[in-house]
Structure 1
Amino acid sequence: MHRPSSMTEQQRQQIYSFIYSKIRIKFQEFLSRWDVTHDFIADLYHCDVTTVRSWINKNFGDSASQRSHQFKLFIADLILSDFEGLPDNLKILFCPDWNR
């Protein structure tokens, strides 16, 4: 049986740096950059359109529970704005069906 690898202190610090990074985009900022439908946002978040409309009407905030959503928006924004500039390994990671 394979034994899991242990993390070095440097790797642990890198992971924590990632966890607490500001790599995210706010909902309203994303909507101001991209002309997307509520259905698109619902697909991105794996929720229903009613939930998205509720967020829009309530000014989707910056609570800790929303950070994972903001991270997804950041990735979507990165893919939309500079997909060709990404290294191939990230293209494959973000878009597994991408063909070179």
Structure 2
Amino acid sequence: MRNPRPLGQRELRLIELFTNCRMEMTPWEFYSKWGVTYATMAQLCRCDIATVSRWFGRGRNFQPPRHYHKWYLALADVFLEFYEDIPETLLNRLCPDR
């Protein structure tokens, strides 16, 4: 039998905060900040290298990244920048197989 936790005012405020949070980082910002290859960016964004190449292309070869690609990059940036500050319990929740 399913017994979900009820949503109180705190949880409703947090859901509102989360839904309005637009954490994004462009491929150019990430590439400029971190010494990564297109292959690493593809791995982080769960796409192929050709897709990453199109983000940096010009003219007909250009394709903008989707919101979820920029979200993955922003999340990776936070992870790389603040890894030592992330509490162990949160790390276990984010990466249970580490």
* Percent of residue pairs identical: 30
Give the Cα separation in 2 of the matches to 1:74 and 1:94: 15
Gaps of 5+ in 2: none
Instruction: Provide TM-score, normalisation by structure 1.
Output: 0.76
Instruction: Provide TM-score, normalisation by structure 2.
Output: 0.77
Name the Cα RMSD after superposition. Answer: 2.0
Residues 1:11 and 2:11 aligned together: yes
Give the Cα separation in 1 of the matches to 2:21 and 2:68: 12
Match of 1:41 in 2: 41
Residues 1:60 and 2:60 aligned together: no
User: Between Structure 1 and Structure 2, how many residues are aligned?
Assistant: 94
Give the Cα separation in 1 of the matches to 2:93 and 2:71: 15
Q: Deviations over 1:63-94 (max 9, x none)?
A: xxx33222211221122222112211222233
Match of 1:70 in 2: 70
Gaps of 5+ in 1: none
* Contact 1:27-1:60 at 8 Å conserved across structures: no
Give the Cα separation in 1 of the matches to 2:19 and 2:80: 23
Match of 1:27 in 2: 27
Give the Cα separation in 1 of the matches to 2:96 and 2:24: 22
Amino acid of the structure 1 residue aligned with 2:49:
V
